[in-house]
A and B are shown apart, each in its own frame.
Chain A
């Protein structure tokens, strides 16, 4: 692939032709803030936070949508650039509830992070702010459009990743808002609740409903594992706090899915801590299940299986293994059936 050489803040770097200025800068460790940019989505250059100065270009181009060309001289931290970025952050903050104390996103909010970095502390305009009701029309996620910075990531995720195109911008000017067709509540739209919009939202505008109040983002330990539903095998992160799974997020390094999941994978974890889970072995006596110890239960199973095997032969015993269990467990049950009991009567619901 052809390479181009550019100079960024005095450092010379070679990047493949077609690389954006933002990616080129980040590749050499230069930090550029960006809110609407998401590596999984088409760059649109909407938030304008990633502006830089480029020699022989008028104005301040957005680095996420500017392609490196040979000999380009880029400056990412001039006075002009800093003024622009700070002004843009101030403008966003001027129309944002400053409730970081209780905001679910606090600690993983990009807007918060950049305001910290650029020393934007308060709303200096004291002008109009939106006051939309918080939307609560579905069991899966909350929409607080007061916290929306209109970056459009959710719109692009819904269209480019999921292919549903439920969302788009509505209205104009200051009143521009993201919503489904005719700005109806999400509950009345064709949304399939995969939560991809939630996954890409840089602020607290979209949050997983069940995670509200369960813990700060930084408190949750993320355990990388595999989704227990269909055969796609999405890599998920179980968000664990105090020994409980408080939510599921897509793992950005997942081989198949990245951050994107479906409604089951993202929101179908509550069975884990269901109070209906089996907690002790049960033995049926006179048609009623009675709690038992492991020794009692396994002793009974072992003696019964031995008895049937001895009386009627190994092939009078059947095993159903499980498409939900791990490879190791399926292997062991296979070994158990064939080596311990001595039958090939083992199957599972592969055909269902």
Chain B
């Protein structure tokens, strides 16, 4: 997030795109509620009529995969009506002319044709966003999980810069991240192309710094993403894998392909708290401590580094992940030893400018939002106040590109995936106990119109299939999805929807198109 979660309450206009905030980030939806109670306007962009969308003053129910057309349409209105923030565009950005040219053809009528959102609604929302004193954009995977995911984000950023709705309190472009420490994992260099704090492996100075600190040579060749690794495994190029606390068999697109890759490996190590679907394929399984059993830090979606504290002992011989890694490194001939995670953080701070001022001592009372370069720096609630990281903000004009798979005669539906309020990711944590008891199985959302046509009643078992696989699941006949769209979550091993999803990914961010694939459904 460019801005902080609590700043949302101060916004007077909230554009929530592709986020079912009330179910996936409930506490953030509380902030939205508080802003709305103070008079803010909430506009939700989502193909589904979620409970969250129902609370909005406007719900733009666009066709899946048409976000760019919508945003370009809004920018077309803003430019043609002269509503853009001239001062901001003049002083803080570059590339405006190119943007103007690119969005020229996206008249509201043209955008309406692509998105299915009425032209007048596009106009109204565009005007309101541009005229708002403090408008903030929230988005999640509904924007990013497309083959044009990066371009979708560019479109969002273009819109915010065009109206100067960034770099101030309660504005900004705010991706709401879906996992407790996904921000931290990225910050910590658990990515193939960057080291900690997004320092690129292709930068010799960075390699030298880390090589020296770690007493090694850093490879200059960017590594493979998870999807690429699975393909490489299937091809025999990756021979061994070490998986810590992940369950790609359920979570990754085209899971059949993942299983194929895992099976082909010579050696697979899985380190986790449960014997997950992925761990079943392992040669060695290492028992790890869970969050309640260890010390450390998580970084949340607003870049706030916060302390995780040990409350209870791990079960049996389970050890904290950091301890296991240290022991393994030592066993590999690379002695690694830390008295506590606090020492590890000190090492991170020494190598990572944005974490430079962070230490466990400082985190004792309150979390700190990076960038926090020095021990006396208070942290940064919102980014881009004076300038963007690259200096001037660059408009990246983008064009609407349809999703990789379009519905056709054989697969006439669009299948989209997401989450449920009561579960988290692959259900390993939430299916134990009360939540599992309350929400024991998933269902496939299908519109009343489609269900009637196919003779499907609420609760019927249906078979849903795509070019990659098929599964059986109970149908829920509902108004939540529009005609032609199916939806379910990826939380349940019994209904492994990722056996069906399309692994085709975005060329830049390598994110798979989980929000759109062509599917067929019939009564089982």
Residues on A facing B (Cβ under 8 Å): 138-140, 160-163, 192-194, 209-210, 221, 223-235, 238, 240, 243-245, 255-257, 260-265, 267-274, 276-284, 289, 292, 294, 297-302, 304-306, 308, 311-312, 314-352
Whether the Cβ atoms of A320 and B248 lie closer than 8 Å is: yes
Complex A-B, nearest 7 residue pairs according to Cβ-Cβ distance, in ascending order: A233-B300, A279-B316, A270-B433, A326-B296, A163-B33, A322-B245, A344-B223
Closest chain B residue to A282, Cβ basis: B285
Contact status B242-A316, CB under 8 Å: no
Number of A-B contacts (CB under 8 A): 489
B162-206 contacts to A (CB < 8 Å): 176-193, 195-196, 201
Question: Which B299-319 residues have a C-beta within 8 angstroms of A?
Answer: 299-302, 304-313, 315-319
C-alpha gap A269/B312 in the complex (Å): 12
With a CB–CB cut-off of 8 A, which chain A residues contact B301?
231-233
Check B27 for interface membership: any CB of A closer than 8 A: yes
> A278-B285, A331-B188 given as contacts; is B430 within 8 A of A268 (CB)?
yes
- B344 to chain A: which residues have CB within 8 Å? 328, 331-332
Interface size on B, residues (CB 8 A): 151
A323 touches B180 (CB 8 A): yes
B311 pairs with A255, CB closer than 8 A: no
Is B292 engaged at the interface, CB distance under 8 Å to the other chain?
yes
In the complex, chain B residues 410-452 whose Cβ is within 8 Å of any chain A Cβ: 421-425, 428-430, 432-435, 437-438
CB <8 Å contact, B307 and A225: yes
A-chain residues with CB within 8 Å of residue B189 when the two chains form the complex? 330-331, 334, 338, 346
Interface status of B472 (Cβ within 8 A of chain A):
no
Contact across chains for A342 and B322 when beta carbons are under 8 A apart: no
Task: Contact check, B367 vs A271: say whether CB atoms are below 8 A apart.
Answer: no
For B187, the closest partner residue in chain A by CB is A327
CB-based contact A323/B288 at 8 Å: no
Known: A161-B33, A332-B325, A339-B334. A348 touches B285 (CB 8 A): no
- Confirm or deny: B385 has a beta carbon within 8 angstroms of a beta carbon on chain A: no
Q: Contact check: which of A232, A327, A341, A345 meets B345 at CB < 8 Å?
A: A327
Whether A323 lies near B181 (C-beta < 8 A) is yes
Instruction: Report how far A209 CA is from B433 CA in the complex, Å.
Output: 12
Q: Is A328 within 8 A of B345, CB to CB?
A: yes
With beta carbons under 8 angstroms apart, the residue of B25, B312, B315 that contacts A279 is B315
Given known contacts A345-B223, A350-B182, A263 and B424 CB-to-CB distance under 8 angstroms: no
B264 to chain A, nearest CB (A): 12
Bound-complex Cα distance A292 to B284 (A) = 9
B6 within 8 A of A: yes
Contact A329 B241 (CB under 8 A): no
Q: Is B294 an interface residue (CB 8 A)?
A: yes
CB contact list, B1-54 vs A, under 8 A: 5-6, 22, 24-30, 32-34, 36-37
Q: In the bound complex, what is the Cα–Cα distance between A283 and B284 (angstroms)?
A: 5
